[in-house]
Amino acid sequence: MYSLIKPLLFRLDPERAHDIVIDTLSALSGSAMAMRAIRVRQPTNRSTPASFMNLATANRFGLAAGLDKDARAFPALAALGFGWIEIGTVTPRPQPGNDRPRLFRLTRDRALINRMGFNSCGIERFIDNLANKRRYYDSVLGINIGKNADTPIDRAEDDYVHALERVYPLADYVTVNISSPNTPSLRELQHIDRLRTMIDALIRKREQLRKQYDRDVPIAVKLSPDLPDDDLPAICELLSEQAVDGVIATNTTTTRPTDLVSRHREQTGGLSGAPLEPLATRMVAALHRHLGERIPIIGVGGVEDATTAAYKFSAGACAVQCYTAFIYQGPRLLTRLLSAG
């Protein structure tokens, strides 16, 4: 089916195509009958279940953050075969993100460049959307949180703490996104002093929420592939000390491998897909060297088939997420991944 629709979608501007797909999946996500109709028969009998952060998923392949930013389509996306879905990034207040065009296909490189800049309907609308659709969804649900562009970096933890508080009762885990390259200064939150302040604030708030809701919601931190190697020991030490539950590695890169061939390769933004794979896998391996089995690592970046998924598992990831390869392959990506286990 996707092979029929894809040529039409790929003739459109990438963000227009994205909006059409999300609108359609959102409409389908509101009806049990429609959901049954679209459920793709994936080779799930072959797939290995996953367990990380005390959460059990039907398979080891999740949808990465950024596709369903406003919590509109996650039930239909799960019906296509993903083991779990991470929605968001959501920001406390609504914001439009950067000017369009801000999403580019690098088709010959099997990659995308985006500079979306956290376009978000804001946390209150996000929660309404989520509450309306939750009953059609029965997998693990990750919620990825960020800060508004106009919140000064010194006040960033206010945004994250507020977002954590609002999504806590609805999430199976919460991802703290401090690694998107498209919000000015955001990646500074990975600097050890800022990171300590932020994680401290979140872990303290989580303690309070745990008592309030009598429920444990794991917190994961999503890191950039562009972090210098020298920063990793201190970051890993801090994450272990603070008992952060998971690490997601990685977000997109602002670097540009020299062998990119597509017209849009010089666009500003984060590069994802095949050219990111070696960088992201290297980061998973480096994190695993520092963290061992203390904190589970979810690998993401350029997973496009069983081989690239295996690279992440060998590097130490316990599960993987995909985004760009799903744009290029549709549900067939999951058929490929699930048939290999």
Ligand X SMILES: Cc1cc2nc3c(=O)[nH]c(=O)nc-3n(C[C@H](O)[C@H](O)[C@H](O)COP(=O)(O)O)c2cc1C
Residue 251 lies near ligand X (rule: CB under 6 A): yes
What residues have CB less than 8 Å from 258, skipping those under 6 apart? Answer: none
Q: Active-site residue 240, yes or no? A: no
Nearest approach in angstroms of CB 320 to ligand X is 9
Q: Which of the following is catalytic: 47, 179, 180, 224?
A: 180
246 contacts ligand X (rule: CB under 6 A): no
Query: How do strand 219-223 and strand 140-145 relate by DSSP bridges?
Result: unpaired
Tell which one of 174, 323, 328, 334 touches ligand X (CB under 6 A). Answer: 323
69 is an interface residue for ligand X by CB under 6 A: yes
Of residues 192-231, those binding ligand X (CB under 6 A): 222
Q: Choose the stretch contacting ligand X; rule: CB under 6 A; options: 38-46, 48-56, 213-221, 318-326.
A: 318-326
Look at residues 291, 298, 108 and name the one whose alpha carbon lies nearest to residue 218.
Answer: 298
Which value, to the nearest 10 degrees, does the dihedral of the CA atoms of residues 202, 208, 214, 217 take?
Answer: 0
Q: Does 260 bind ligand X (CB under 6 A)?
A: no
x/- letters, 160..179, toward ligand X (CB under 6 A): -----------------x--
Q: How far apart are the first and last CA of the chain?
A: 23
Bridge partners (DSSP) listed for residue 61: 320
* Sign of the C-alpha dihedral computed for residues 14, 15, 20 and 21 taken in this order: positive
Query: Of 135-143, 166-174, 259-267, 301-309, which part binds ligand X (CB under 6 A)?
Result: 301-309
* Least Å from the CB of residue 185 to ligand X: 16
Closest listed residue to residue 184, CA positions, set 254, 121, 122: 254
In terms of CB distance, is 129 or 144 closer to ligand X?
A: 144
Residues 6+ apart with CB under 8 A from 227: 190, 235, 283
Q: How many residues bind ligand X (CB under 6 A)?
A: 26
114 binds ligand X (CB under 6 A): yes
70 touches 121 (CB < 8 A): yes
Q: Least CB distance from residue 150 to ligand X, whole Å?
A: 17
Token representation of residue 33: 């009958």
Site for ligand X in 1-60 (CB under 6 A): none
CA nearest neighbour of 29 among 136, 101, 109, 156: 136
In this chain, which of 322, 333, 334, 338 binds ligand X, going by CB under 6 A? 322
Catalytic residues: 180
Binding site for ligand X (CB under 6 A): 64-66, 69, 89, 103, 112, 114, 116, 144, 177, 180, 222, 251-252, 272-273, 276, 300-303, 322-325
